[in-house]
Amino acid sequence: MEAWTSTGSMPDQVANLVHNAIVTNCIPTALLIARDIRLPPPFPMPRINVQKKGDPSKRSTPGPEFA
């Protein structure tokens, strides 16, 4: 508290905890509220770009597929 009053900002360690708590708890709620009232999401949604794959015979050995 002393560092906050003397510098006017939170110490980095405390700021990380506060910001992570906000992101973890508030962003999902904001997304649900935006959906319920038919507003765009409060942050840009990731774009998915599925590209056509090459010739299957040129692929490496079979295994799990990663994007």
The pTM of the full predicted model, rounded to 2 decimals, is 0.48
- Amino acid 7: pLDDT: 84
In this prediction, residue 37 carries a pLDDT of 97
pLDDT of residue 61: 66
Per DSSP, helices labelled H in the chain are 2-7, 12-36
Query: Per residue of the chain (67 residues), what is the pLDDT tens digit?
Result: 777 788 888 888 988 999 999 889 998 999 999 999 999 998 888 888 888 776 666 666 666 776 6
Residue 57 confidence (pLDDT): 63
